[in-house]
Chains A and B, each alone.
Chain A
């Protein structure tokens, strides 16, 4: 593929992507979808949250998992950044701490795919560091 340099190139790419058979339905209701929220405040950014977020965007797509990846502010767990909150449909959200690309992969494979918990969960009754 040649490089994408103009808006026309981008549009062409979009049409290519669109024309590929997409079996996944884009659910309108976000509550029915898996939500991945990457904390991206000063603390998260400085600890490398960008790489984690880029990984989630790419990996969830490649593995055909229908999810919304978005960013959020500081959740108060600055000591455990990068932190990621995962909300599975009909389940309580769970916050994972110290997430790097390797951990993110484990979260997708174990928690998102099979519902098995992995290490690094931050209990909700933790006090925030002030």
Chain B
């Protein structure tokens, strides 16, 4: 099994891996999940820079600890290097990035072009998001596009990949072989319908799901139980998101200012009571990873450590969720 995950490269690490029957993409992330391993993913913050070295340096922090790296697409409606470019750079040296596509900035013409371009540059995974509104970011005066929404985007990816055509019907010479995913937030109203929204995304073509920050384990467990009962955990790989909080103050700011972030009071109290809040935040994150791993129907965990990226590898190691497995990383 490990041979399959650590395939010796013929030319260079950026070359596509050999096709495996039953797999959609050539990518390593799909292989890890389909092999039944508990997968770990994380997020890279695309730099405010035109320097590729900065992208490599940020990715290197996760070496040996994660199976795939999400490249955010103007997260929080703030402008950064494009996710397509970050993913192309990372794919080229062998990493397994997940291309996040937000519907906020591009219409269906631009998005479909990006999907083809990204696949041509070796990108194997894509995450369909509706995206935050422009008012949340540093260019509040920009025009919000929202031509598609996340589910329409999943339909688009699936159509291009499986039917080898654009949404207009025009034929594609080579279809983009992308492993498609989307996100879910189990904690915001209408909480009882969130599992139905999850089902809708899976019906639309999501093969993996990464969730918003999960700090409220009972709510997550309740949704996962319903998802398992509905057979959704067999249809898609579900990776709940966990995060690390730098301090009680940060946690409070996050939950009041960032849309969709739900942090229970108990977590804030625990941080407030800690002598070293940052270390306590990381301890909480490690515990959450361990707790997530025990939930039935879960295929992995998505670690979000904005501005604490350098601690991700350490936290993953400490949690033991990989059970000694070392994810692929470039040889330096």
> Do A and B bind?
no
Interfacial residues, chain B to chain A (CB-CB below 8 A): none
